[in-house]
Structure 1
Amino acid sequence: MNIMKPYTTFLLIGLLVGFSSCNAPKNGIVAHRGAWKKNNLTENSIASLRHAIDLKLTGSEFDVWRTADDSLIINHDAHYNKLLIEETNYADLIKFKLSNGEKLPTLHEYITEGVKNNKKTLLVCEIKPSEISKERGKETALKTVETIKKLKAEKMTSYISFDYEILKQIRQVDALTSLQYLEGNKAPGEIKSDRITGVDFHYSVFQKHPEWIKEAKDNHITLNVWTVNDAEIMDWIIKNKFDYITTNEPELLNQRIKNKK
């Protein structure tokens, strides 16, 4: 990916204006759960994160849950090895390795790796809605932000969630960070009043509401889209100049973008 501005400039602009669409790179590639598919790496693993960084992708997305004993860990589903993460202690979860042999990573370990030798790749942090309570989800959000700030990674991190209240909670403690809403049930103009800086909807939402693309751009709302793996849909998204495109196929998407230049 060579469509991104120099990293230091990108971070400064993002910090000042919340990664608004007027400054974000067009058609920036975000690896969904890291760059894992082509090389058969494990999703949400340190290896998939490292590969996304090595590919110099615009971003690498990952998912955060909080265990019963308050450990913040990286996993997509609510369950890990048939154990409900929110009701299980971390020591019991790490008895089971990832498919590539890695230990289930904590947020601290993941971010620590994410800032190493990384001059291009935004860390796109999805905070999962709690299945226990809304309040627990917001507490997880605050603990996540606290950890990322302690690791001095806040300038290279963007937050996304299906839970609108989680994003609003983050905004209360960080006035400048990038926030993108995933659910697809609010028009871009609606989120502006809550100081949510971006929409990150499934591509089918934008196919149903193509007018939201212009509405986002007119309101300087960042446009992200998930999870785009089909070449024809990639071409449609590229043509409409989204800021970010989240995909399991970053190598294919990179080639499609090059073909359009």
Structure 2
Amino acid sequence: MKLKKLLFASAMSFAACGILQAQNTQVIAHRGFWKTDGSAQNSIAALVKADSIHCYGSEFDVWLTADNKLIVDHDGVFKGVRMETSTEKECTSITLDNGENLPTLQQYLDKAKGLKTRLILELKAHKTPERETLAVEQIVKMIKEMGLEERTEYITFSRHATKEFIRLAPKGTPVYYLEGDLNPQELKDMGCAGPDYHFSVFKKHPEWIKECHDLGMKVNAWTVNDAKDMEWLISQGVDFITTNEPVLLQEILKKK
């Protein structure tokens, strides 16, 4: 009888652990919720739609233009326009697939103020460290002026920009590194909130997930669009999954 009770308790504990892991995994919409009518990648509509389905966060990308203005776009060259060497006017004249003009960061944040989803701001790697520092300075200042410090997290592939966000953003602001080439202890020593790595990195180093948690860090995986990969990451206890399929991920989490 005691053995049966022990086995039952162990099974319940294991099940509860699985439920807790699922509940703790949060959904981040990659470039917003754009795979839906009226939306487009990195559009203001994609931000609004990510908020409308209650995503934890909406990820978006930021460039510094040739005239030192901040705009929202992923590709270094988009529809024939090179972001770093073009002016704000030239960049924002681009029409997105949903009919919007490519937004400035100011326009994007103006809309974000009335929403609840967290802002997962990726600064793209720029040509020089000096350009990245200038971009970080402007971003941190704008986020403060907009009153969005409590809702903003920063991510970047650039080690220099990572260190600059850690240096310039308010203490405790989550800053994640994207490249995938640093181990948990190296990230902790840098001052990162944790890794935001392609999910294949965690498939290669599954032990890093627990190591990060043991060091008090969070774990984000990108860009995860397959249900099996989502299931595996949830089972491993990752904190965030960044995806182009936020509705699919939400459905999987609801079943846990």
TM superposition score normalised by structure 2: 0.88
Structure 2 equivalent of residue 148 of structure 1 = 143
Structure 2 equivalent of residue 113 of structure 1 = 111
How many aligned positions are there?
233
1:200 to 193, 196, 202: 196
Q: In structure 2, list runs of 5 or more residues that go unmatched.
A: 1-22
Larger RCO of the pair (alpha carbons < 8 Å, separation 6+): 1
Where 2:185 maps in the other structure, the secondary structure is helix
Call closer, same or farther: CA 1:235–1:57 in 2, change over 3 Å: same
What is the percentage of aligned positions where both structures have the same residue?
41
Q: In structure 1, list runs of 5 or more residues that go unmatched.
A: 1-24
CA distance in 2, matches of 1:45, 1:100: 8
1:224 to 220, 223, 233: 220
Where 2:24 maps in the other structure, the secondary structure is coil
CA distance in 2, matches of 1:105, 1:44: 8
Tell me by how many angstroms 1:26 deviates: 1.6
Q: Report if the CA contact (8 A) 1:29-1:246 is conserved.
A: yes
Q: Report if the CA contact (8 A) 2:92-2:104 is conserved.
A: no
2:156 to 157, 161, 180: 161
Structure 1 equivalent of residue 184 of structure 2 = 188
Structure 1 equivalent of residue 68 of structure 2 = 70
Where 1:60 maps in the other structure, the secondary structure is strand
Structure 1 equivalent of residue 134 of structure 2 = 139
CA deviation vs aligned residue, 1:222-244 (integer Å, no higher than 9, x gap)? 10000000010010011112111
1:95 aligns to 2:93 (yes or no): yes
Where 1:193 maps in the other structure, the secondary structure is helix
CA distance in 1, matches of 2:234, 2:154: 23
Where 2:231 maps in the other structure, the secondary structure is helix
Tell me by how many angstroms 1:90 deviates: 1.3
Determine which structure has more spread, i.e. the larger CA radius of gyration: 2
Tell me by how many angstroms 1:212 deviates: 0.3
Amino acid at match of 2:141: E
Q: Report if the CA contact (8 A) 1:34-1:62 is conserved.
A: yes
CA distance in 1, matches of 2:34, 2:176: 23
CA distance in 2, matches of 1:100, 1:172: 37
Write out aligned runs for 1:18-37 (5 A): 26-37=24-35
CA distance in 1, matches of 2:130, 2:142: 19
Tell me by how many angstroms 1:40 deviates: 6.0
Q: Report if the CA contact (8 A) 1:167-1:179 is conserved.
A: yes
Tell me by how many angstroms 1:95 deviates: 2.6
Structure 2 equivalent of residue 247 of structure 1 = 243
Q: Report if the CA contact (8 A) 1:97-1:103 is conserved.
A: yes
Call closer, same or farther: CA 1:226–1:40 in 2, change over 3 Å: farther
Amino acid at match of 2:147: K
CA deviation vs aligned residue, 1:98-139 (integer Å, no higher than 9, x gap)? 1111111011111111121x23x1100000010x21221121
CA distance in 2, matches of 1:138, 1:226: 25
Structure 1 equivalent of residue 17 of structure 2 = none
